[in-house]
Amino acid sequence: MTKEQLSALLCAALLLVPLSSGAQTPATKAPVRENPLKEAYFGEEHLHTGVSMDAFIAGNRLTPDDAYRFAKGEEIMVNGSLHKIKRPLDFVAVTDHSEFMGEAYSLMNKGAPGYDDPVAVSFRTAPDLKTALELYNKYVLAPLAGGGSPHPDFFQGSQAIKSTWRKNFEAAEKHYKPGVFTTIHAYEWTSAPGGANQHRNVFFRDANVPDMPFSSNEGADPEELWAWMQKQRDEGKKVFAIPHNSNESKGLLFAESSLTGKPIDKKYADTRASMEPLIEIMQVKGNSEVVPNFWPNDEFADFENAISIQRFNGRTLLKENFVRYGLGRGLKYKADLGTNPFKYGFVGGTDNHNGTPSNVEEDNYKVGSHGLADRTAKVRSTSVLEGEMLISDANPGALTGVWAVSNTREAIWDAMLAKETFATSGPRMKVRAFAGQGFAARYGSYEALVKDGYAKGVPMGGNYKGKGAPQILVWAVKDPIGPNLDRIQIVKGWVEQGEIRDTVYNVVASGNRLKKDGSVEPIDAPIDMKTGQFNTKKGAAELMGVWTDPQFDPKQQAYYYVRVLQLPTARWTLYDELREGVTYPADVKRQIVERAWGSPIWVEGS
C-alpha cells in the first residue's frame, strides 16, 4: 500500500468518527492548595489515542477527550468493550505521534477546510444504506485492498497538522482542572533509524506551545529535535524530552557517538543533559532497568524483560540498552567531559495505543493495550504483536509518581524537571529518598521524616554535596489494594579504574529478615494459583530506614537509586487463564514481584 493510499484510507475512515461538540469550559481559577512537603501524584506519561495513525489503523477511535475521561475514572468503550480503570489518575500526558497528525483534522471538525468537501459531505449525508455502503467500499475497503489510489483531497498540508495539534491542545485545556486533574501538553517524536528506537516524548510546561510539533519527518536525529527544542526555549517556551524503550534502541540510546557518527563531546553532553531530565524506565514493551543476562547478581532482574522483542527488527538485547548501564556510562562521561549526558530520573508509562491512560492493573487487563491485536484473552494467549514481540511477553505498562507541591501543570512539570519522581510497574506504592547527613534512626511521624529529609538532605533527583559517606533516608508505603512490601533496596553505581560498576544493597526489610551480611531471608509468600489472591499476612505496610554507604570513596562519582519490592502478585496472564479459560505456554510467568524505582541521587564531587 502506498503512502497516498494509506492517507486516503485514514481520511475516509475518519469520516466515520462522529463529531463531538463538547462545550468549552474555561479552567477554573479557584485557589489550589499547596503542600510544601509535597504529595505523590500518579499519572500517565506515554499514551496514544486514535490521533496516532498506528493506533487508528489498529482500531482505536478514541480521542484525547475520551482518554482524559478514562483517566478521570469514566467507563469508555474500548475496542467494543466498556472498560474503566479502578482509580482515577492525577495527571495525564497524551503523547500522540507528531508524524501522523496530518490529514485528520479537516474531516473531523465542522468549519475546517475540507470539511465541506463533496465526498465528506456525501458520506455524512448518505440517505440510505446502499449509498453509504458504496462510499464505504470506495473509500475504506477498496484502498485497504490496494485496488485504487484515490488522492486525499482533504489533505491541507501542514495546516492540517497544526489543526490536529490544536485539537489535542484544546482537549487538554478543556480537561485541566488545577488542583484536581492535570493535563500536560505533549506529543511523541518518533524516530527509529534501522529499527533502533530513538523515540522521545516532548513535554511542555504550560499552554505556551508551538503551533506545530517537530516530527521525525523534519528531523530524525535527536540532535535535530534538541535544536528545535532550544529554539522553542529561546522563544520563551518551556520544554523537555523523555526517551523511552532503550531496550529496543540497538545500543543507540546510550551510545558512544551521536547518530551522525561523531563521538559524544561536551556540547552533545550539555545539550542532552539540558533537554532530557528523565527516562521512561518501563512500559508495555518491557522493563528497561536491567536484564538477568548482564546483571546475573541482581536476583530481582528477571522482571517483565520482554525478551521476545529480540525476534523482531534485529533488536538484540545488549547491555548498552539498559538504564542501569546508561546511568553508569553517564558517570564516566561526566569524568571525561565534565557533563553527564545520561543523568536521568525515572518515569513510567504505558505506550498504550488504546487511548486508555495508565490501564496498568494486572487484574483489569481485559482489553489489552494495542487495539485489535491483543483485545481478547484468546488472542493474547496465542499471538504476536506484529513487528514487536509475543503478546504474552508484554505487560500492562508502568506508572509515574511525581512528588509535587500541588496537582498543577507547573508543579508537576517542575517536579519532573527536578527529577523528584519515581516509576512503578503499575501499583500505587509511594517511595521517597533523601541523601544527607544527620538523619535520625527513627521518626515520630511521616511528616517529621519528610521535614528532616528536606532540611538535612536532597531529595530524589538531586546532587549530594556533603562531605563523607551520604546517609540515605528511605521511606515507602504500600498500595492499599495491593499486598504488603517486602523490602527497600538501594542500587549504587560507580566507576572504578575506568570500569562501570554497580551493586544492589538490601536496606530495609519487613519483619526481622535483614541479616548482618546484608542478605534477606526470603519472604516465602506465594500467591494462590487458583484465585490469584496474594498473601495478606506477611510483609509490612510501611517501611523506612537510614542507610550509609559502607564502601563510600569520596574520590568516586556515584549514583544511588531506591528500588522497592512488594510481595508477589498474580500476573495478567494468570487472570486471563482463571477468567477466560485460556492457557499460556508453560514458560510464561503467572506471578511477579511488582516494584517501584525512585529517581537516583548523584554524588558528583566537586
Partner 1 sequence: MLSRLARDPLLHFVVLGALLFAAYSWVGPGRGADRREDRIVIDQAQLDHLEAMWRAQWKRDPAPGDVAAIIDRHLRQEVFYREALKRNLDHNDEIIKRRLAQKMEAVASDLGTLMQPPTEQQLRAFYDGRKDLFMQPRAFAFRQVLFLPEEANERSRMKAVLVSLQQGAAVPSDRQNKAALRDDWPLTSAATLDNAFGPGFAKALEDLPLGTWSGPVRSGYGWHLVLMQEKRDPRLPDFDEVRDIVSKQHEYYAVLEAQDRMYAELLKGYTVSLTAADIPAEIRSRFPAP
Asked if 18 interacts with partner 1 (CB under 8 A), we say: yes
3-state secondary structure string across 422-463: EEECCCCCEEEEEEECCCCCCCCCHHHHHHHHHHHEEECCCE
Rounded to a whole number of angstroms, the minimum distance from the CB of residue 87 to partner 1 is 5
Out of 44, 45, 99, 280, the only residue in the binding site for partner 1 (CB under 8 A) is 99
Name, in order, each residue with C-beta under 8 angstroms of 69's C-beta and a sequence gap of 6 or more: 76, 175
Q: Rank residues 307 and 593 by Cβ distance to partner 1 and give the closer one.
A: 307
Judged by CB under 8 A, which of 68, 136, 226, 295 binds partner 1? 136
Residue 40 touching partner 1 (CB under 8 A): yes
What length is written for the chain? 606
Choose among 87, 90, 50: nearest CA to 66.
Answer: 50
Tell me if 121 contacts partner 1 by CB under 8 A. Answer: no
Task: Tell me: does residue 173 bind partner 1 (CB under 8 A).
Answer: no
Of residues 129 and 586, the one with the C-beta less far from partner 1: 129
Would you count residue 596 as binding partner 1 (CB under 8 A)?
Answer: no
CB 314 within 8 A of CB 250: yes
Cβ closest to partner 1, residue 363 vs residue 604: 363
Three-class secondary structure assignment of 328-346:
HHHHHHHHHHCCCCCCCEE
Q: Taking CB under 8 A as the rule, does residue 444 contact partner 1? A: yes
Stretch that binds partner 1, among 108-116, 233-241, 264-272, 366-374 (CB under 8 A): 366-374
| Residue 446 interacts with partner 1 (CB under 8 A): yes or no | yes
Q: Which residues contact 35 (CB under 8 A, 6 or more apart)?
A: 405, 406
End-to-end CA distance of the chain: 58
Query: Please, which of residues 410-439 interact with partner 1 by CB under 8 A?
Result: 430
* 17 near partner 1 (CB under 8 A): yes
200, 280 contact by CB (below 8 A): no
Q: Is 77 in the site for partner 1 (CB under 8 A)?
A: yes
Using the rule CB under 8 A, which residue among 299, 521, 542, 553 binds partner 1?
Answer: 542
Choose which of 386, 521, 528, 553 interacts with partner 1 (CB under 8 A). Answer: 386
Do 568 and 524 contact (CB within 8 A), yes or no? Answer: no
Give the nearest distance from C-beta 569 to partner 1 in angstroms: 13
Secondary structure of 184-226 in HEC code, one letter for each residue: ECEEEECCCHHHCCCCEEEEECCCCCCCCCCCCCCCCCHHHHH
Other Cβ atoms within 10 Å of 537 Cβ, number: 8
* CB 371, CB 59: distance < 8 Å: yes
Residue range at the interface with partner 1 (CB under 8 A); choices 80-88, 453-461, 523-531, 579-587: 80-88
Subset of 235-254 contacting partner 1 (CB under 8 A): none
Q: How far is the CB of 585 from partner 1 (least distance, A)?
A: 11
- From CA 67, how far away is CA 48, in angstroms rounded? 9
Contacts of residue 109, Cβ cutoff 8 Å, sequence gap at least 6: 19, 115, 163, 167
The smaller minimum CB distance to partner 1, of residues 97 and 334, is found at: 97
Q: Which of 235, 226, 101 is nearest to 169 (CA)?
A: 101
Distance CA 256, CA 128 (A): 62
Give the cell for residue 380.
493474547
Number of residues in contact with partner 1, rule: CB under 8 A? 63
Q: Are 254 and 246 in contact (CB under 8 A)?
A: yes
Alpha helices in 235-357 (DSSP H): 266-275, 323-337
Closest CA to 119 of 101, 106, 102: 106
Query: At closest approach, how far in Å is the CB of 116 from partner 1?
Result: 19
Residue number with CB closer to partner 1 (125 or 297): 125
Q: Does 521 bind partner 1 (CB under 8 A)?
A: no
Element (H, E) at 283: strand 278-283
Q: Is 167 in the site for partner 1 (CB under 8 A)?
A: no
Q: Is 175 in the site for partner 1 (CB under 8 A)?
A: no
Q: Which is nearer to partner 1, 12 or 279 (CB)?
A: 12
Does the footprint of partner 1 cover residue 578 (CB under 8 A)?
Answer: no
Least separation in angstroms between residue 605's CB and partner 1 is: 33
Residue 471 vs residues 435, 489, 545, 564: alpha-carbon distances, Å: 6, 14, 10, 18
Q: Which of residues 471-490 bind partner 1 (CB under 8 A)?
A: 477-482
**Residue 312 near partner 1 by CB under 8 A:** yes
**Residue 582 makes contact with partner 1 by CB under 8 A:** no
447 near partner 1 (CB under 8 A): yes
Closer CB to partner 1, residue 448 or residue 455?
Answer: 448
For partner 1, the binding residue among 4, 170, 265, 410 (CB under 8 A) is 4
> What is the nearest approach in angstroms of partner 1 to the Cβ of residue 237?
27
Tell me if 523 sits within 8 A of 598, measured CB to CB.
Answer: no
Least gap, CB of 336 to partner 1 (angstroms): 35
CA-wise closest residue to 244 among 379, 27, 382, 397: 397
Work out whether 445 is an interface residue with partner 1 (CB under 8 A): yes
Of residues 279 and 390, the one with the C-beta less far from partner 1: 390
Site string for partner 1, 46-75 (x = CB under 8 A): -------xx--xxx-x-------x----xx
d(CA 224, CA 195): 18
Closer Cβ to partner 1, 40 or 423, answer by number: 40
Mark 355-393 as b/e (b = at least 16 C-beta within 10 Å).
Answer: bbbbbbbbbebbbbbbbebbbbbeebbeebbeebbbbbb
Per CB under 8 A, the list member of 30, 146, 208, 554 interacting with partner 1 is: 146
Residue 9 in contact with partner 1, rule: CB under 8 A: yes
Give the binding site for partner 1 (CB under 8 A): 1-6, 9, 13, 16-18, 39-40, 53-54, 57-59, 61, 69, 74-77, 79-80, 82, 86-87, 99, 126, 129, 132-133, 136, 141, 144, 146, 149, 311-312, 371-373, 384, 386-387, 430, 444-447, 477-482, 510-511, 540-542
